[in-house]
């Protein structure tokens, strides 16, 4: 077990290092001067050269990367060119909004998705199964920005129950959480149904019915638990997506989360903020997938992590 954990940790570090290198190179070879954008179009050329020198942007790329990665290992992500604040502070500030939105959205997604998937699997082939799966197809197909705009128009503006922009209070998270949760609920329901139906056809399930066990116990303990591996995989992937910021939804509802922060940084070519944001996204995804791998062994003891 510990050998596997160590191997995964080393792999995670190498992935994050590779992503940091690729991101740094891409951002620094793109055309355009961030200093010129920061100072404005009427800035003097001498002033631009002076600022570039003070920021270390006139050094060779390998020196700039070495300096940045060294500071990163010390916990210093640098400072935003435009907001004049530490990158780590800005990311943590935005994470508060993103994490709260992600938690609300995924509670909605899990409750609706698992319920629909279990009901559809138990009643597979019936009209109820067809209706639920049709709803899930609609949920997957509908773009998140379209769902968000519909919620703003038909619930926010017409009934004036929930705000359509900003999150001054907790109620402001309701519409964006529904917009995000709907899409993830649809994917969870389809994976849950497919995985449960695969388990339902196995011999030990027929044996459980033959022994006269309670149907609810068979469904929840024997079928659902053994069908959890694919469900855990998609749940982990979805959580990673939510925690790294839902850019479109956060922009539609004007939520100052990770997604909106990164979009604004990209538009301004705020290189330190973009680099810090990418490292954050990579770290979250690597950690989530590591947790998912360990959960495989918890749900199914037959999986031997040390043998991988």
Q: Which residue has the higher pLDDT, 42 or 99?
A: 99
Dist CA 30 CA 275 (whole Å)? 14
In a domain, 287, yes or no: yes
Q: If you average pLDDT over residues 287-292, what whole number do you get?
A: 78
* Residue 185 falls inside a structural domain: yes
Q: What is the DSSP letter of 219?
A: I
100 with 64, same domain: the answer is no
Domain with 160 in it: 90-307
Which tokens in the block code for residue 117? 């998937």
Q: What would the pLDDT profile of 25-34 be if each residue is shown by its tens digit?
A: 877 776 666 6
Residue from 172, 135, 156, 197 nearest 250 by CA: 172
| Rounded distance between C-alpha atoms, residue 122 and residue 135, angstroms | 17
Distance (Å, whole) CA 183 – CA 145 = 11
Mean pLDDT (whole number) for 128-132: 90
Tell whether 256 and 296 lie within a shared domain.
yes
Domain shared by 105 and 162, yes or no: yes
- Read off the pTM: 0.74
CA separation for the pair 202, 206 (Å, rounded): 7
95 or 234, greater pLDDT: 95
On whether both 240 and 118 belong to a single domain, the answer is yes
**CA–CA dist 122, 65 (Å, integer):** 56
Q: Name the average pLDDT for the chain.
A: 80
Q: What is the pLDDT of residue 278?
A: 85
Residue 51 domain-assigned (yes or no): yes
142 vs 1: which has the higher pLDDT: 142
Residue of 245, 220, 234, 247 whose CA lies nearest to 119: 220
Lowest mean per-residue pLDDT among 3-17, 47-61, 117-131: 47-61
Measured CA to CA in angstroms, residue 76 lies from 16, 251, 274 at distances of: 16, 28, 14
Give φ, ψ of 254 to 5 degrees.
55, 50
Which residues neighbour 199 within 8 Å (Cβ) at sequence distance 6 or greater?
A: 205, 222, 223, 226, 227
Phi, psi of 79 (to 5 degrees): -120, 145
Q: What is the rounded CA–CA span in Å between residue 173 and residue 162? A: 9
Q: What is the pLDDT of residue 275?
A: 84
Token representation of residue 306? 């040390």
| R_g (Cα) of the chain, nearest Å | 24
**Buried residues in 67-80 as b, exposed as e (16+ CB within 10 A):** ebeeebeeeebbbb
- Confidence band, pLDDT 50/70/90 cuts, at residue 308: very low
Q: In this structure, are 31 and 178 located in the same domain? A: no
Boundary of a domain, candidates 73, 103, 122: 73
> Does a structural domain hold residue 78?
no
The answer to whether residue 37 scores a pLDDT higher than 70 is: no
Q: 15, 38, 73 — which closes off a domain?
A: 73
38 and 103 belong to one structural domain = no
Out of 48-57, 205-214, 254-263, 267-276, which region has the weakest mean confidence (pLDDT)?
48-57
Nearest to 64 by CA among 19, 15, 28: 28
Q: How many domains does the chain have?
A: 2
Q: What is the pLDDT of residue 83?
A: 82
Instruction: Clarify whether residues 144 and 229 are in a common domain.
Output: yes
Identify the sign of the CA torsion 290, 291, 294, 300: negative
Q: What is the pLDDT of residues 141-164, one digit of tens each?
A: 887 778 888 888 888 888 777 888
């Amino acid at each position: 077990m510990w050998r596997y954990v160590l191997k995964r940790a080393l792999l995670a570090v190498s992935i994050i290092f590779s992503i940091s290198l690729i991101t740094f190179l891409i951002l620094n070879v793109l055309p355009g001067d961030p200093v010129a954008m920061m100072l404005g179009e009427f800035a003097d050329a001498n002033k631009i050269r002076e600022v570039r020198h003070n920021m270390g942007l006139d050094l060779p790329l390998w020196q700039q990367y070495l300096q940045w990665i060294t500071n990163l290992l010390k916990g210093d992500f640098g400072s935003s060119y435009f907001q004049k604040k530490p990158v780590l502070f800005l990311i943590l500030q935005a994470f508060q909004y993103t994490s709260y939105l992600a938690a609300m959205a995924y509670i909605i997604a899990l409750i609706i998705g698992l319920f629909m998937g279990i009901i559809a699997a138990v009643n597979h082939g019936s009209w109820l199964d067809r209706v639920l799966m049709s709803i899930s197809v609609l949920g997957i197909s509908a773009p998140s920005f379209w769902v968000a705009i519909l919620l703003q128009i038909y619930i926010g503006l017409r009934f004036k129950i929930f705000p359509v922009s900003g999150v001054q209070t907790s109620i402001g998270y309701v519409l964006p959480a529904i917009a995000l949760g709907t899409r993830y609920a649809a994917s969870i329901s389809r994976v849950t149904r497919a995985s449960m139906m695969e388990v339902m056809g196995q011999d030990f399930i027929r044996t459980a019915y033959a022994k006269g066990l309670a149907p609810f116990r068979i469904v929840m303990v024997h079928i659902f638990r053994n069908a959890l591996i694919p469900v855990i995989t998609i749940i982990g992937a979805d959580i990673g997506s939510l925690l790294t910021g839902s850019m479109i939804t956060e922009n539609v509802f004007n939520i100052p989360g990770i997604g909106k922060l990164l979009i604004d940084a990209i538009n301004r070519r705020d290189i330190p903020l973009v680099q810090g944001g990418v490292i954050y996204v990579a770290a979250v995804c690597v950690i989530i997938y590591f947790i998912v791998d360990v959960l495989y062994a918890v749900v199914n003891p037959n999986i031997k992590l040390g043998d991988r």
